[in-house]
Structure 1
Amino acid sequence: MGAAEWIGPSDGEKDKLDINAIASSLPAEASALKATLANSIVKGVDDMRRTASTEATQAKATQRRLAIAVVAGSAVAALASGLLLYGQGGADAPVSSSLVSLAKQNSVVIALLQIVSLLIATAAAGYMAGKDFGKLWTEYRREAETRRIEIFNNALALIGESPGTGDESPLRQFLEFFRRYQLDLQISYYKMAGQREDKSANRALFATSLLGGATVVLGLIGGISPALLSLSAFLGIAVPIVLSATQSWATTTGAAAKAASYQSAGKALQNLRFDLTKIEDAADAGNVADVKKFMDTVHGIMSAENGAFVGAGPLPAPPPTPRPARQR
């Protein structure tokens, strides 16, 4: 058995960068990697990464909830306004008459719904403007990604002091660790995240297309059937409101942009993975420089993906790796 077997095959659905769990799962033969992962300059950076990642997740979830409140609250308030105006009119057609009657009978409830919806939308919009959770998410995500890269930089710097040779060498152990918990894990992440965001973007596109078509159909209904003219007029107000809300949600979430960013980065890493066999040979020969060059290329793709998506440029370079004595 060699380092590849000690580290094990990648599992995109279950793997995660948990330094403590990874170190605990390693066999005794992988002592060099175990010692490296236990080093304070690796564990300390991992603690900072985990904190930033948690903060990013919370900021994103809060932004999503507030965005839903703004979009949905505004849409409901606008629909309520249209229904109140609709209830002020009259119609002889049975369908229109029943709707007008319903609107009149429940005008107080509809008005309260309008007020509450406006209150929710306004409060959520104000809170978002004051805290700017989108910016917080961007900052925390960049911090987490920078620290993630720093973990591997620090680990390689420590291993590079005594890289050894062969398929059980400390350098090969590091490469297998990098392969499973950085390269392959990022490929899996980009693939799954890209598929998720692509589905979200497609749902929004389908909804906007359907509502856009409905707007045209409603106009035809009013022209073909005068009895339904009043109903068509109301729906002609309501449907564009829902359409606008759907488009606002698609813009707020940025699903299409996320999907494109993730898919592009994932393909770049998959293409780079074809060089892995050559880098394994370099690691077995104790060639730290080639391993580092490969690692830096992977990190460059990750940095570009993050910078392209958030519009803030590539990730900042991690700080130089400190050089304390290796822990035994």
Structure 2
Amino acid sequence: MDSSDMDANYGGGLLDMVKGGAGKFFSNFKDNLKDTLKDTSTKVMHQVATYTKGELDIAYITSRIIVMSYPAEALQIGNQNHVEDIRSFLDSRHADHYTVFNLSQRNYRGAKFSNRVSECNWPSRQAPSLHNLFAVCKNMHNWLKQNPKNVCVITCSDGRAPSGVLVCAMFCFCHLFSNPVPAMQLLSAKRPGSGLWPSHRRYIGYVCSMVSEKPSLPHSKPLVVKAVTMSPVPCFNKQRIGCRPFCEVLIGETKIFSTAQDYERMREHRVQDGKVVFPLGVNVQGDVVISVYHMRNTIGGRLQAKVSNTQIFQIQFHTGFIAPGTTVLKFTK
């Protein structure tokens, strides 16, 4: 992986956003959120616990940051939250003082929540873009500082990983924590089973770096991914002796390169090979997602061959945090 010498405009909006961040308000807001972590309102917390165990899936991470699973408008298997019940819950406890941040790609009518809904449209199977993550943190911060009674309600499909990323990033954004670990520990204590991926944790770390006392801001230099090496060779084929892998590269949610070919032309790699090398030579910039899949050939109902893909791994990073001159990036399980 090489750094390019080309100039680029990417990241300008993100850098402008950082420069216009929380500023002097950080210290006051930090003290305020520290107070909320004590959960002094036992009456409210008792009522919340009752709802969580009963009808609704709602968790107060602090008394001003709430996480819940997606509020459906119709009864759905495995979904505890009906939109009318959620609205009743929020109106009874935080009337005119809540805003919903919907991270899922399923939008719902803002009128259900007095038109205080921010549709973020985060991808379901990867971390959000750094620009979007930082922007949502800033919007939450702006809402909370308007009134001490204001609360943020965060929702995604199951109220787990995407919501957890935003909660932890918000803690770092507000200088409650200087690194992701204590933020994730607090999240785990308040809402167990969030299931954050390494890429999620990496992006939380990016936010921490951007708002630290000596901020590390992303550069705008594009990179060249020359090759991806996977070691050892995993066992994904039917004989459990290797795999038939291919590699895809995405910028955000847009696929820009793939090594996939027709099944008959795909090489099978075996455990004794030790590693798989995918030559790429791809220019990338911004939020990069690299996924490796195993290609399977199955027999259909009419004895027709069907190809299906099983993901072996996925990594995500932002090029702005790769030091110029870096030649190798190593990701471990």
TM above 0.5, yes or no, is no
TM-score of the two chains, using structure 2 as the length reference: 0.19
Structure (1 or 2) with the larger CA radius of gyration? 1
Which structure exhibits the higher relative contact order, with contacts defined as CA atoms closer than 8 Å and separated by 6 or more residues? 1
Larger strand fraction of residues: 2
TM-score of the two chains, using structure 1 as the length reference: 0.19
Larger helix fraction of residues: 1
